[in-house]
Amino acid sequence: MGPVSSSSYLSKNIKIPDDGFSFIYFACIISSNILIEKAVVMKERTPFTMIEKAREYAYWKHNRPSESQRYGSAPYSLHLENVVDVIKKYKYLLDEECHEDVIAAGYLHDSVEDTDTTPEMLKAMFNLRIAELVLRVSNERGWDKKEILFKTLPKIWQNKLATFLKLCDRIANGQTSKQGDSEKSKTVYHRYLMEYPIFRYALKTTGEYDEMWKELDLIFNFE
């Protein structure tokens, strides 16, 4: 496929990038059905693997100078890598065929919740399973943390892979906040500690991800 002419789709003289990754994101921003369909075709010729593409996109969206896109004093990508490390540690608990999608979702897991990314964009750029996993672990809206928790946990529990992904996220967050010495780290860890009995009750299924739950129990001093 050769260069895509902007005049074919837009009335304004806007150049559409001709590399797979940039085009896919540009297409999603435009929100045109025609361009979205074109993006799905273009992803077949992108030089990135699924995981590389997810990592590149997530870094681009999260590593911004704003306070909301920082992980303490570090760029937000540190948290994404921490989550992916936990996924790789426990991926033996999953069927091999889903490893790539779950790792990609690990990089993308906060993209809907914390950036202007939509599930439709993720479906076009990646696939339906990745988009669904990210959507399921994204917080619902609520007046406070408790309401958000009660609205979000049921949709995670309904999907085993989403549960796995959320456990990886909580292990990574729990380890980092427990080891941190800043006031923010202490506040975050205390919140997770208070939430943990509800979190555990809502998501734990007997015989499923037991090794991960053992690690979480240690992190949050649960007996």
Among the ranges given (10-14, 176-180, 197-201), the one the predictor scored with the smallest mean pLDDT: 10-14
20-44 pLDDT per residue, tens: 454 444 444 444 444 444 444 445 5
Q: Which domains does the chain have, with CATH numbers?
A: 6-45 (no CATH), 50-219 (1.10.3210.10)
CB atoms within 10 A of CB 95: 9
Q: How confident is the model at residue 63 (pLDDT cuts 50, 70, 90)?
A: confident
Is pLDDT above 50 for 189?
yes
Report pLDDT for 75.
Answer: 82
* Beta bridge partner(s), residue 37: none
Position 73 scores a pLDDT of 66
Q: How far is CA 16 from CA 13, 19, 57, in A?
A: 9, 9, 18
Q: Which residue has the tokens 């969206």?
A: 61
- 69 has pLDDT over 50: no
* CA atoms of 88 and 102, how far apart (whole Å): 10
Beta bridge partners of 96: none
pLDDT tens per residue, range 72-122: 667 888 999 999 999 999 999 999 999 999 999 999 999 999 999 999 999
Residue 190 DSSP class: H
- Distances from the Cα of 89 to the Cαs of 26, 60, 62, 103, in angstroms? 34, 25, 24, 11
Give, in degrees to the nearest 5, the angle at Cα 90 between 185 and 49.
95
Contacts of 53 (CB under 8 A, 6+ apart): 21, 43, 46, 104, 125, 126
Query: For position 71, what pLDDT does the model report?
Result: 57
- pLDDT (0 to 100) of residue 147: 93
Output the average pLDDT for the chain: 83
Per-residue pLDDT, 37: 45
Return the H-helix or E-strand segment holding 40: helix 33-42
pLDDT tens across 142-164, in order?
899 889 999 999 999 999 999 99
What pLDDT band is residue 16 in, cutting at 50, 70 and 90?
very low
Q: What is the C-alpha separation between 209 and 193, in angstroms, rounded? A: 20
